[in-house]
Amino acid sequence: MVEVKMKKILIVGHQGYLGSRLTEYLHERGYQCTGIDTGFFKDGIITTPHSIPTDLKDARLIVETDIQGFDSLILLAGISNDPFGHMTSEQIYDPTRDYALDIAKICKKLGVKFIYPSSCSVYGAAVVDGLLDEESPTNPQTPYSLNKIQVEQGLSKIADNNFSPIALRFGTVYGISPRIRFDVVINMLCGLALSSKKITLNSNGQAWRPHLHIDDACESFRCCIDWDNDSNKLIVLNVGRNEDNYKVIDIAKIIHSNVDGSELAYLGSDANDEENELIKDRKIQDGVDSRTYKVSFDKILKILPGFECNWTVEEGIKSFLKDLQDIRLNKNMFNQKEFYRLQQIEFLHKENIIDDDLFWIK
């Protein structure tokens, strides 16, 4: 009988929202996971996380010996919020680009598969009608989205006959994780509906977005781990379902229909609402979100062996609402700063726990 070797996966940034679910998901399917994380979001726990061997280390400090012996590396570590304090977007994002490519070069040298989570937000304010595919022009509207494009460009330059990195452009991820985020649209609106009975939109709701259940995001990683990809170039894949492109207002209406007694509202309609500061998006001006795009997911179904999305948005929302009810989500829990990336990073910086270069002081 041939013994099947358990694949060893290194997840950099495993203590975040996606990483905490991914470690569970891969473990349940027989993969051996190890994590590296600096720990900014380790305390944002809503259910008990799966424990894996962990090295508390900043991604900028990763060296060759940290990566040796692994089959695949998934780089989740990064900044996903606005610049804060007196810091510029370059201060925030340039190091993220640089260490992503440094780690990729180590993977290339060692023969380790490199998988990078990019984002459908790179399409930004869509400049063409219809569904956007991987060959469509990108039009990033934020430093975060520009950073994703810069990393993709860097990966494309270092890809060759011995290195075929993969960039997965995710739709807006939602769903339950041991370390939850409430600063993504479906999670936020579901949390608001259950904790305050008020589904508050921070825009007019007319922007289009593709949405992706967190387990489907995890499944795309799993399929990439098992994929014998020798394309000799960077592979870019949109991850999601064509049917799950929705306007934000329509997402809100689905949630409203599933939470008895809830009401729809717009940010600013209640000046005393204590949640306004948590839920407002500083990139939205005068109630209009310039980031609007509908995305095609045909390519991934054609070329990534074994992949398909198992969740529709309507089913995913119902499941997520039940998960939040099961943990008895209340207003105090929903408002915890640890569940909001920008607020948590700002707190650490303001309290001089991390410095301007985002290294730990204390």
- The model's pLDDT over 211-220, given as tens digits with 9 standing for 90+, comes to 999 999 999 9
Residue 40 lies in a domain: yes
pLDDT at 85: 66
pLDDT band at 174 (very low <50, low <70, confident <90, very high): very high
State which residues form the domain around 33.
Answer: 8-350
Structural domain tally of the chain? 1
pLDDT at 84: 66
pLDDT at 281 over 80: no
Antiparallel, parallel or unpaired: β 245-247 and 208-213:
antiparallel
- Residue identified by tokens 């198992």 is 310
pLDDT at 276: 55
Residue 16 lies in a domain: yes
pLDDT at 233: 96
For 157-199, give the secondary structure using H, E and C: HHCECCECCEEEEECEEECCCCECCCCCHHHHHHHHHHHHCEE
pLDDT at 285: 46
Residue 362 lies in a domain: no
pLDDT band at 224 (very low <50, low <70, confident <90, very high): very high
Q: How many residues does the chain have?
A: 362
Residue 361 lies in a domain: no
Coil, helix or strand for 72? strand
Token reading at 157:
């330059």
* Integer Cα distance of 218 and 221 in angstroms: 5
Mean of the per-residue pLDDT values of the chain: 91
Residue 20 lies in a domain: yes
pLDDT at 80: 74
Residue 355 lies in a domain: no
User: Strand (E) positions, 38-152?
Assistant: 54-56, 72-75, 113-119
- The model's pLDDT over 113-144, given as tens digits with 9 standing for 90+, comes to 999 999 999 999 876 778 999 999 999 988 89
* Integer Cα distance of 118 and 206 in angstroms: 24
pLDDT at 314 over 80: yes
* CATH at 84: 3.40.50.720
Residue 2 lies in a domain: no
pLDDT at 51 over 80: yes
pLDDT at 305 over 90: yes
pLDDT at 203: 75
Residue 122 lies in a domain: yes
